[in-house]
Amino acid sequence: MRPHDLDRRNFLKMSALAAATALAHAQAGLPDDDALRETEPLPDLDVTWNKAPCRFCGTGCHVQVGVRDGRVVAIAGDQLADVNKGLLCVKGYHVGMILYGKDRLKQPMLRKRGVLEPISWDEALDIMAKRVMDNPAGFAFYGSGQWTIPEGYAAQKLMKAGLSSNHIEPNARLCMASAVTGFLSTYGVDEPAGCYEDLDECNVLIMWGNNPAEMHPVLFSRVIDRRIRGDDVMLIDIGTRRTRTTQYCQHYLEMKPHGDLAIANGIAHLLIKNGTYDKDFVAKFCNFRTDTEPTTLNGQAIDFDQYKQKVAQYTPEYVEEVSGVPAEKIRLLGDLFGRRDVRITSVWCMGMNQHTRGTAINRLVHGVHLLSGHFGKPGDAPTSLTGQPSACGTAREVGTLCHLLPGGRLVAKEEHRRDCEQRWNLPEGRIKAEPGYHTVQMFEKFCTPTDEGGDITTVFVQVTNPGQTLPDVHRLLQAKEKLKDKFLIVSDVYPTATTALADLVLPAALWVEKNGIYGNSERRTQQWFKMVKPPGEARDDTWMTIALARRLYDLGHPGMKDKDGKFLFQVTNDAGEEVPVWDWEHYYDVNVDRALYEEYRPFTHLKHKNVAPYDELVQARGLRWPVVEKENGVWQETKFRFVAEYDPFVTKEEGVKFYHSVTEDNRALIWFCPWEPPEESPDSEYPFWLCTGRVLEHWHTGTMTMRTPPLKRAMPQAYVEMNRDDARKLALSNGEIVLLTTRRGELELPVWIDGRGRPPRGTVFVPFFDERLLVNELTLAAIDPHSKQPDYKKCAAAIRKISHTQTAQKT
Amino acid sequence: MPISGLVVTIQRPIECGAEVMRRVQADARFTCGEPCGDRLPLVLEAEDDAAARQAHDWLHSLPGVAHVDVAFVGFLDE
């Protein structure tokens, strides 16, 4: 062993012990954690430690990143972070490895005669600019909830302010759009009222189609840790298959797909029938609405008696018939919500969002909490979780969806457009009033021949992998290959299912190779600084957007100038001089993230989502908006919204105030939405339900985690999870290969019987992380009518045994 | 060679932690820190990821262990 290795080994051991000791003290609840943290810093030894939010899910854990000789060498949970209190999940503590996969993209590449060949950045930008100039209306931008806030803001400004086009979407459309429409139609404003501290305070935690033991393990461990300490917390899992979460729950309510709508209505029925709903809360703070036919986002006003009548049919027995959940379990839920002596938190994620009735079920779960008064106290909250690190911060708050403008404004609202034009110093009328194409539409148009109405001809994809995540991906992206006039530009860090289809590939900087700001699931805005250099010619996504805008400016595109003829992305230094940030050599002469974020920050005030100043974020492990400056100059975050004790915009006299109420009377809406069957159900030809999702070890499409050796070894490939009885009936044993077929495609997969998840008879599950086994070639592109979010959780499938071989493959 | 910082949570009553402590201290793969209530911080050095996982599983399987959390992972070049 070389001396250098020994030093490094000793350093790592010391660091490991320091981190473990600090975590042990924090977990043991020593009285003065902060003092402890100050006395036990991580060892130095030429290593620079800095904070960053984890790159993976929406939890927003903070890590300490150890950098030595320009390379990330260690990761520790951040003791100062309220979100994770020093803990990390298996993905989080390997997050540093995502930078060092052997096949990082390092230079721009253009597809020539079917092969990607290296080109210069100048050439790449020229090609992109020409595509836009030739057909600005045919250009679409597709990003993600992994976009940092400045990346999303820059893309948003390029499209809506520069190109007068609303054809911009984040992949968050595929993961949380139904949560957005649920919040909007209930409270008039998006995003949760509660925060993760609800998990520390609740007596009952209900997980609606949610598997946090695998998908949000650090949050789940907060609750499990309470149990270890002796707290009495009841966990209830409402789902379509047993998961790792189920193992920890006192109650498992196995429902048929879409059964959640009936269950929620059944709870509401029992609250009214038993007279246990919170009459005072409802009288003071709620109105009632019902879905209409055809359905609309704001529905139709009804009164309490009409509501009562509508939910009356959802007796426990009827709910059992529709949902498959025994009537006694529905009564259990009804009784729990009827109690005033317990605090109930509901959490959900993709199970309720990736749902053709996603908006409806989101509304109903909010409604159950409002009707029962289990709202507005720590531990009493309906809270949606997000799957991506900045689905909230970038997709929802910056508003990178096709119908939004920054800060919750709508493109369709004239006053919002005028406001944005004023703030961006644009001529009146620059921003288009008609919403752009939502994600499924955008890719349908891209994959439709131009002369047949396919008016999207160029798509620029940043920070996401639609070649693996779009539903019915044969039709929505792979079909593009036959259309020679269509052009796909992809910025990414590794080769992916999307770069495999791309005409132009751009190498991107990843995570701590650039500055960044994320916004997590609990309204917490989190900032980090660049710590290491990106490899080769990989560059920041924000820079790519600004550099493209500058090329367009140089080519004379009028949209790239404001009313005074200044470049749309003008950034100045402390002396007030313009810095040519479109030139990579000068991009880091100033902090572009800070400039863009501070330009964006005032937009957040309209909806009382005041994000903290950048310099405050630098000092903090994230701050939960609204963040307001107190008289003493301290910037104070908000744990719970709409409640006087916590929310700075609610007075003590008001108590609870839904200040963006749909009905403009400071009241939230309790909705009635009927149960409806799924879009596609099993039949004699396709007798199984197919559900898709994630696994603990891999994050989304696995582009990062499949390049992290310990994670790849732990879960090397996708599989189809089956019920033992179903497998027996088909004469299948573990590891055998089956052909999984839907009306959209087929896939060979190995069988896993009674593995990690245990589906009931008639249901199979396939994770989507494996790019060699694209399950989204099989999924359904049916969408929720309001959120336009596809349903990846249920479609009809058939299974046929094909061989005993162990190597699965795409057919 | 992976090095991890772990925290073992001892089941209550924590008296059963003495046996856990004895077995961990006797195992060359682990370096123990100072116990803190029902939590035992330690460092795991393993030959490779598979060995690290095996050691982690072994810890978890010890009678009296409620939980094993990971606080730190250092990576020598993979």
* pLDDT tens per residue across span A702-724: 999 999 988 888 889 999 999 99
| Mean pLDDT along residues A548-563 | 98
Q: What per-residue confidence (pLDDT) applies to A740?
A: 98
Cβ atoms A169, A442 nearer than 8 A: yes
Query: What share of residues in chain A are helix, strand, coil (percent, to 5)?
Result: 35, 20, 45
pLDDT at A34 over 50: no
Which carries the bigger pLDDT value, residue A19 or residue A203? Answer: A203
Q: How many percent of chain A have pLDDT more than 70?
A: 96
pLDDT at A37 over 60: no
β-pairing, A688-693 with A745-753?
unpaired
Domain boundaries, chain A: 3-100, 109-174+393-587, 177-384, 688-803
Distance (Å) of CA A790 to CA A353, A679, A779, A793, B31: 9, 11, 9, 9, 50
Nearest to A460 by CA among A138, A805, A95: A138
For domain A109-174+393-587, give its CATH number from 3.40.50.920, 3.40.50.740, 3.90.1300.10, 3.40.50.150.
3.40.50.740
DSSP count for chain B of H helices, then E strands: 2, 4
Distance (Å) of CA A804 to CA A185, A798, B67: 51, 18, 38
Q: A714 — contact with chain B (CB < 8 Å)?
A: yes
β-pairing, A168-170 with A139-143?
parallel
CATH number where B7 lies: 3.30.70.920
| Mean pLDDT along residues A618-637 | 97
Residue A126, classified by CB atoms within 10 Å of its CB into exposed (0-12), middle (13-18) or buried (19+), is middle
Confidence grade of residue A28 (pLDDT, cut at 50, 70, 90):
confident
Distance (Å) of CA A654 to CA A284, A420, A650: 10, 31, 6
Q: Supply the range of the domain harboring residue B19.
A: 3-74
- Residue A523, sorted as left (phi over 0), alpha (psi -120 to 50) or beta, turns out to be left
Which own/partner pairs from A245-250 qualify as long-range (CB within 8 Å, at least 24 positions apart)? Answer: A245/A207, A245/A210, A245/A211, A245/A212, A245/A213, A245/A214, A245/A220, A246/A758, A247/A213, A248/A213, A248/A220, A248/A224, A249/A207
Angle at the Cα of A547 from the Cα atoms of A546 and A552, rounded to 5 degrees: 95
- Touching B: A residues 220-279, CB under 8 Å: 221, 224-225, 228, 230
Bridge partners for A795 per DSSP: A690
- Record: fold of A177-384: Dimethylsulfoxide Reductase; domain 2 (3.40.228)
Calculate how close chain A gets to B47, using CA atoms only, in Å: 13
Distance (Å) of CA A447 to CA A61, A67, A488, A600: 38, 44, 11, 34
Q: How many domains does chain B have?
A: 1
pLDDT in tens, A602-616: 999 999 999 999 999
Which carries the bigger pLDDT value, residue B25 or residue A249? Answer: A249
| Single-letter code of the amino acid located at A229 | R
Cβ atoms A361, A368 nearer than 8 A: no
pLDDT in tens, A263-308: 999 999 999 999 999 999 999 999 999 999 888 888 999 999 999 9
* A22 contact residues in B (CB cutoff 8 A): 71
Cβ atoms A589, A582 nearer than 8 A: no
Three-class SS state of B4:
strand
Q: B28 — contact with chain A (CB < 8 Å)?
A: no
pLDDT at A10 over 80: no
Confidence grade of residue A558 (pLDDT, cut at 50, 70, 90):
very high
pLDDT in tens, A131-168: 999 999 999 999 999 999 999 999 999 999 999 999 99
* A11 contact residues in B (CB cutoff 8 A): 74
pLDDT at A742 over 80: yes
User: What is the CATH code for A3-100?
Assistant: 2.20.25.90
pLDDT in tens, A44-81: 667 899 999 999 999 999 999 999 899 998 899 998 99
Which residues are CB-neighbours of A413 under 8 A, at least 6 positions away? none
* A31 contact residues in B (CB cutoff 8 A): none
Bridge partners for A48 per DSSP: A67
Q: B71 — contact with chain A (CB < 8 Å)?
A: yes
Q: Does domain A688-803 have CATH number 2.40.40.20?
A: yes
Nearest to B75 by CA among A57, A105, A68, A104: A68
Q: A100 — contact with chain B (CB < 8 Å)?
A: yes
Confidence grade of residue A42 (pLDDT, cut at 50, 70, 90):
low
Q: What per-residue confidence (pLDDT) applies to A44?
A: 61
Phi, psi of A380 (to 5 degrees): -115, 90
Which carries the bigger pLDDT value, residue A535 or residue A17? Answer: A535
Q: Which residue of B has its CA nearest to A25?
A: B36
Q: What per-residue confidence (pLDDT) applies to A8?
A: 67
Q: What per-residue confidence (pLDDT) applies to A14?
A: 80
Cβ atoms A77, A92 nearer than 8 A: yes
What DSSP element (H or E) covers A129? helix A121-134
Q: What per-residue confidence (pLDDT) applies to B78?
A: 45
Cβ atoms A68, A43 nearer than 8 A: no
Q: What per-residue confidence (pLDDT) applies to A30?
A: 57
β-pairing, B39-45 with B3-10?
antiparallel
Rounded Cα–Cα distance for residues A629 and A404 (Å): 27
Q: What per-residue confidence (pLDDT) applies to A25?
A: 80
Rounded Cα–Cα distance for residues A373 and A628 (Å): 28
The question of whether A91 is a catalytic residue gets the answer yes
Q: Do A17 and B31 touch (CB under 8 A)?
A: yes
DSSP count for chain A of H helices, then E strands: 25, 31
pLDDT in tens, B20-78: 888 898 899 999 988 888 889 999 988 887 888 888 889 988 888 888 888 888 775 54
Distance (Å) of CA A708 to CA A4, A153, A588, B77: 24, 30, 29, 12
Which carries the bigger pLDDT value, residue A230 or residue A737? Answer: A737
| C-beta atoms surrounding A613 within 10 Å | 16
Confidence grade of residue A486 (pLDDT, cut at 50, 70, 90):
very high
Distance (Å) of CA A556 to CA A167, A552, A565: 21, 6, 11
Q: How far is CA A124 from the centre of its chain?
A: 30
pLDDT in tens, A683-705: 999 999 999 999 999 999 999 99
Q: What per-residue confidence (pLDDT) applies to A5?
A: 54
Q: What per-residue confidence (pLDDT) applies to B1?
A: 66
Scanning A527-607, the segments in alpha helix (DSSP H) are 541-554, 584-587, 592-600
pTM of this structure: 0.91
What is the pLDDT of chain A when averaged over all its residues? 94
Sign, CA dihedral A210-A213-A217-A222, equals positive
Q: B75 — contact with chain A (CB < 8 Å)?
A: yes
Q: Do B71 and A19 touch (CB under 8 A)?
A: yes
The question of whether A468 is a catalytic residue gets the answer no
Q: A75 — contact with chain B (CB < 8 Å)?
A: yes
Cβ atoms A352, A358 nearer than 8 A: yes
| Single-letter code of the amino acid located at A45 | L
